[in-house]
A and B are shown apart, each in its own frame.
Chain A
Amino acid sequence: MSEHPLTVSNEEADLKNVAFTTRLEDFINWGRKNSLWPLPFGTACCAIEYMATVGSHYDISRFGAEVVRFSPRQADCLLVLGTVVEKMGPILKQIYDQMLEPKWVIAVGVCASSGGFYRAYHVMQGIDNIIPVDVYVPGCPPTPEGIIYGMLKLQEKITKGGIVRVRDRHKIAR
């Protein structure tokens, strides 16, 4: 007796129980977005807010981003937390350059995003003058909820992006 063409063999049924199929891109992005290793570039008050975000109350590890690294070689998400003065610019750029692809940048707080209320002789008017920024978190300082929201937005962005990103470096002013 021949088998009905629509009958699922036992072997195939077993496979469905233990495996699922997806696209490689989605799978890699899923892994990346849930294991961001942040590098806090904390230059001012916003960095204090980030400490609260990592602490047990807000617990950023719920989103897989608690492995804070202080070496750019081991991190893939640069968080710029605080005021960046012009003199600090080359240092920030150097740290960004030292990070390996794939890498993302979150500008936390208005200082990092736009210079904030500092419109004077010394403060860079937004870190996007020297490095590309993926997510801007407003606030002075942003609440820990705000920082977590920024992280979630970045996760969204990672999900939508390809696995190989070619940055348009020419868009950066210098």
Chain B
Amino acid sequence: MLETDIKLLANILPHLPQAIQSQILAVEEFLAETTLTVRRESLRQVIQFLKTDPNFCFDVMMDLFAMDYLKYVPETPERFAVVYYLVALLQNRRIRIKVFLPEEDPTIASIHDLYKAANWFEREAWDLYGIKFEGHPNLVRILCHAEFEGHPLRKDYPSDRYQRLKTTTSSEGL
């Protein structure tokens, strides 16, 4: 991203409607990329705004992934985070949206209806980290097999705990 673009983004941010601005907990600029940390309950509102507002037009969701900050230094506000990576094709701009989720209730609203790509990404985050996406039409495992227990990329999952298929003998329904 060009330096002018960064300025543009930084300049636009103060012009966000108050309703959106108040949902943003932190803004971070690192290596020419902006990260907004937003409140959990208003994630959909912020993303919907960034997608539809003519000044932003973040029309593509590049990536969606979860993080587990267990024992992370420096300590984070909550254990889990979900990160959304949006791109505005016309302006060639990128932005990251980050939401922290508490360990005891890692739940967040699904955005599968805003970006179709989110559907499988959310299933992946559920499979590997156990993040629950409320409103997702089919939140089942996507990578691990059907008999798998637990969420393997959580930091407290033993790194060598291998789980065999016990009852499934055909390739159907995995």
Q: Is the CB of A87 within 8 A of B162?
A: no
Q: How many A-B residue pairs have CB under 8 A?
A: 42
CB-CB under 8 A for A90 and B170, given A121-B144, A121-B152, A122-B144: yes
Residue of A nearest to B173 (CB): A90
Residue of A nearest to B169 (CB): A90
Q: Does A94 contact B (CB under 8 A)?
A: yes
Residue among A94, A119, A120, A125 having the largest count of chain B Cβ atoms under 10 Å: A120
Residues on B with C-beta less than 8 A from A122 are 143-144, 152, 162
Q: Does A45 contact B (CB under 8 A)?
A: no
CB-CB under 8 A for A86 and B165, given A121-B144, A122-B144: yes
Residues on B with C-beta less than 8 A from A146 are none
Q: Is the CB of B165 within 8 A of A89?
A: yes
Q: Is the CB of A120 within 8 A of B160?
A: yes
Give the docked Cα–Cα distance between A112 and B157 (Å). 25
CB-CB under 8 A for A90 and B168, given A121-B162, A121-B163: yes
Q: Does A91 contact B (CB under 8 A)?
A: yes
Give the docked Cα–Cα distance between A121 and B144 (Å). 9
Residues on A with C-beta less than 8 A from B162 are 86, 119-123, 125
Residue of A nearest to B128 (CB): A121
Residue-wise interface mask of B (138-174) relative to A, using a CB-CB cutoff of 8 A (1 in contact, 0 not): 0000011100100010000101111111001111001
The count of chain B contact residues (Cβ–Cβ below 8 Å) is 18
Residue of B nearest to A90 (CB): B171
Residues on B with C-beta less than 8 A from A94 are 170-171
Residue of A nearest to B152 (CB): A121
Q: Is the CB of B159 within 8 A of A120?
A: yes
Residues on A with C-beta less than 8 A from B148 are 121
The count of chain A contact residues (Cβ–Cβ below 8 Å) is 14
Residue of B nearest to A89 (CB): B165
Residues on B with C-beta less than 8 A from A125 are 162
Q: Is the CB of A90 within 8 A of B165?
A: yes
Candidates A87, A93, A121; contact of B157 at CB < 8 Å: A121
Candidates B161, B168, B170; contact of A121 at CB < 8 Å: B161
Whole-angstrom distance between the Cβ of B56 and the nearest chain A Cβ: 38
Residue of A nearest to B158 (CB): A121
Whole-angstrom distance between the Cβ of B123 and the nearest chain A Cβ: 14
Residue of B nearest to A94 (CB): B171
Residue-wise interface mask of A (94-117) relative to B, using a CB-CB cutoff of 8 A (1 in contact, 0 not): 100000000000000000000000
| Contact residues of B between 13 and 30, Cβ < 8 Å to A | none
Residue-wise interface mask of A (120-147) relative to B, using a CB-CB cutoff of 8 A (1 in contact, 0 not): 1111010000000000000000000000
Q: Is the CB of A86 within 8 A of B170?
A: no
| Contact residues of A between 17 and 44, Cβ < 8 Å to B | none
Residue of A nearest to B168 (CB): A90
| Contact residues of B between 73 and 92, Cβ < 8 Å to A | none
Residues on A with C-beta less than 8 A from B168 are 90
Residues on A with C-beta less than 8 A from B152 are 120-122
Whole-angstrom distance between the Cβ of A43 and the nearest chain B Cβ: 14
Give the docked Cα–Cα distance between A87 and B169 (Å). 10
